[in-house]
A and B are shown apart, each in its own frame.
Chain A
């Protein structure tokens, strides 16, 4: 281990340095900072929607504006927050977990980031056009999204923005796969990879195989809109349902793209705070591979209501995919079982993740059943379900990751009291916002409406109050982060008694990450080095 350097040493340098950097850590920070910025922007759009929905009738904005807001909220959260956040975390921590000095293709990495930023800015530039941003939902179904029904420039900017950021994601994934196969330190066999890295490997494969379908769909839509194409025009022999197939062939793997890495994050954090190894390492790996494989066979459960898909097949696959996720839950519980658990902020957010994602997962089973989906599809039931997976799952785990790893990235600790305040406000605000939406959906309130019958007023008001509390909790995090950045106590190399290799080096790590490495004989080399050996061989015995 080297002497701790000043916290800001590796971040020194001006704008030129940040713009030209090919260092995986700086690119990781750029990705994460951009992702968090779009999280805030897209979150503000959601708050404006909840403001409009607090009461029946239109008070705050026009229908047109509301339609732009939910379109860009979904687009922003999926494409410019969640996906780049995954690539950012992987950028920073995949090489560190491997004991590698950087990613395999540092310049491709830089290209990927700047393309993804350009894509995000392009899509959001729709707000600056005379006809406003895209307003056909993040799913962009034609014919609504074609030139006849959505003539504005905002729609074309949306397509181009998604094409750019999608291509960037593919570049990032290729790079990560090459890194995971090519840059493992001596001793780092595949079955000694961190579970985080296993999840990044499977996620990268999902990106490489699913984003091209989106690219194809968007390119065809662009041709339909601008060059007289008829791919999705039923009156000319095209098929609007084709777009839905292509979109969801991407779209369902996409939801695993933004959750699998966070299964990885949670699987790294829980053992550290329970002071035990991961229970069932190979089971975790198998479950991750199964989810990755199944995720390409479930897409048409988004299309049961079209009446144009083989419902029993997609119902079967959609229910089967719950099984490997269930395995993970039992492995997480078994990891905590008879442990000695401390509940600092990263672990607290992992516990929030477990409960919230459990609700998201269980309600997902309902939607996998075609008859129930006939009732619940396109209602607030679905909105509630996927927010439990994407906020209850992904966002809770994003904050677990940030509380866990920001001390490594900044070299300074965040304040635990503010972190706890953040957690409880977020848990209360989130549940208040979304739990009532299950009932709203069953009662028949459909998605994507700015106005609703007054019978839904009570739940909607509760939901809007919840959204305010949720926003407040994020503000607490921002304050905590800002204070810690300037005057947080030094983190030292290893504030959590971590297991994986990032805790062997300084906080933040030097330019090429490591000046020495411990022997790597299991998936937790730093633990082995500090507690005497506990090699893979011992475990098999």
Chain B
């Protein structure tokens, strides 16, 4: 009962603002995490003030037993109403600017497919019922997994990685919770997401858009390693492909 998860849940039960994102493992995710935390502070303030006023009214203005006299019949106060129209308006404009700024940072990091930097590692990620096929575009290395057996791809840390998202059947969604990111994989639509993984580790990936019977089993995992380790892995896989004989497992 004392694991971090339980403490987070316990806190969430009592204070709305206490629900928190997982620790972001990629650069874009960190920006989303920061934005989420800013929103949480503002949301907690709005919630506390509004809920506090409701609670105060409930506790303070209860009718006493036998008190039949009418309270003062106040109908409106235009000045007050203008104020409480203006304040939320200013808050949402602020939240909008914060959101669009973060969004703009994403767009700058997601160049169109034709102007890849030389050092961008491009993968095609094809979602299908029910699994994923990852192709390292430059080397042609392919990793395929199904609902029964999740694929594991290996990626280098500190390098910009682009996923070109492709589907030929139904809509799927490429989702890695630790990157705080998902993007739909839509037939007929070229979608791309870019990530820069900052911490080595293993990260779960899922399909987030309901895609039929075994949607829940359409998972993959990402093992992020140092650049040289990644190169070694990629070379090994390339040799396997050329010889047609698996050298692992």
Q: Which residues of A contact B (CB under 8 A)?
A: 63-64, 67, 136-137, 141, 143-144, 149, 234-235, 239-241, 274-283, 305-308, 311-312, 315-316, 319-320, 322-323, 326-327, 329-334, 336-343, 351, 354-355, 358-359, 362-363, 365-366, 368-372, 374-375, 377-379, 431, 435-436, 438-439, 442-444, 446-453, 455, 458-459, 462, 531, 534, 539
Contacts and interface: CB of A to CB of B under 8 A. Distances in A.
B201 interface: no
Contact of A365 (B13, B39, B89, B178): B39
Interface string B30-55: 01100110010001001100110110
A305 B183 contact: yes
A319 B95 CA distance: 8
A447 B184 contact: no
B96 A316 contact: yes
Contacts, number: 273
A417 B184 CA distance: 50
Given A275-B71, A327-B81, A319 B92 contact: yes
B18 to A, nearest CB: 9
Contacts of A443: 5, 22, 177
A141 to B, nearest CB: 6
Pairs A-B, 3 closest by C-beta atoms: A234-B188, A444-B177, A449-B216
A220 B65 CA distance: 62
17 contacts: A63-B213, A241-B189, A275-B63, A279-B77, A280-B81, A281-B76, A306-B191, A307-B191, A319-B93, A355-B51, A358-B54, A362-B47, A369-B99, A371-B99, A443-B177, A450-B216, A539-B75
Interface in B142-181: 168-171, 173, 175, 177-178, 180-181
Given A319-B92, A334-B80, A444-B204, A276 B74 contact: yes
A306 B171 CA distance: 10
Contact of B169 (A143, A337, A340): A143
Given A279-B74, A329-B50, A336-B61, 12 more contacts: A234-B187, A235-B168, A276-B73, A280-B81, A282-B76, A306-B189, A316-B96, A320-B92, A334-B74, A336-B54, A365-B95, A436-B9
A319 B96 contact: yes
B57 interface: yes
Contacts of B177: 375, 443-444
Nearest to A64: B213
A375 B81 contact: no
Contacts of A330: 81, 84
B57 A333 contact: yes
B100 interface: yes
Contact of B184 (A235, A275, A306): A306
Nearest to A375: B180
Contacts of B77: 279-280, 334
A122 to B, nearest CB: 23
B184 A274 contact: no
Contacts of A240: 171, 186-188
